[in-house]
Amino acid sequence: MTMWDWGTGLHWWGWVLGSAATLIFWVLVIWSIVALVSRARGPRRGSSPSGRSGAGEERARVLARQYVAGEIDGAEYDRQLAALHARPYAGAGRN
């Protein structure tokens, strides 16, 4: 018996764990690169640093115009603006 024949080598669980660890490593590397690139590119179109969507900001501007034009009163403006800010995805659903 020579030295090269000693033992049975890596068992099946060693291959499974090694493959899983390699897969996890590459997923984390790719995820990190995607996260860095997306952060470097800035916010996506239609979003803003305030966290509101572009549609939500547009709705707030429309409310302000309606208030200035006298189409709605101050109480209605405040109520609608508060409702707009309370929704996590303002402007994405029904009004």
Q: Is the pLDDT of residue 22 over 90?
A: yes
27: in domain = yes
49: in domain = no
3: in domain = no
Q: How confident is the prediction for the chain on average, in pLDDT?
A: 79
Minimal CA–CA distance to 51: which of 91, 79, 93?
91
Q: What is the pLDDT of residue 41?
A: 85
Contact 81, 64 (CB under 8 A): no
Residues 36 and 58 in one domain: no
46: in domain = no
Spatial distance between the Cα atoms of 30 and 37, rounded to a whole number of angstroms: 11
47: in domain = no
60: in domain = yes
pLDDT digits (tens, 9 = 90+) for 44-78: 655 555 555 567 788 889 989 999 998 999 899 99
Q: What is the pLDDT of residue 3?
A: 56
45: in domain = no
The number of folded domains in the chain is: 2
Q: What is the pTM of this model?
A: 0.41
Domain of residue 14, residue span: 8-40
Give me 61's structure tokens. 């501007």
Who wins on pLDDT, 89 or 38?
38
